A = this chain, B = another copy of it.
Amino acid sequence: VEGDVVERLGAAEREGLGRLLPEWRMVEGRDAIGRGFVFADFSAAFGFMTRVAMLAEAQGHHPEWSNVWNRVEIVLTTHDAGGLSARDLALAGAVDRLVAG
Contact = CB atoms under 8 A, between A and B. Distances in A.
Interface stretch (A9-17, A62-70, A90-98): A62-70
A57 B49 CA distance: 15
Given A50-B50, A53-B46, A69 B62 contact: yes
A35 to B, nearest CB: 15
Interface in A42-75: 42-43, 46, 49-50, 53, 56-57, 62-69
- Copies of this protein in the assembly total 2
A64 B66 contact: yes
Closest 5 CB pairs of A and B: A66-B66, A46-B53, A64-B68, A42-B62, A62-B69
A56 B62 CA distance: 24
B42 A56 contact: yes
A8 B65 CA distance: 28
Given A42-B62, A64-B68, 12 more contacts: A42-B53, A42-B56, A42-B57, A50-B50, A62-B68, A62-B69, A63-B67, A64-B66, A64-B67, A65-B66, A65-B67, A66-B67
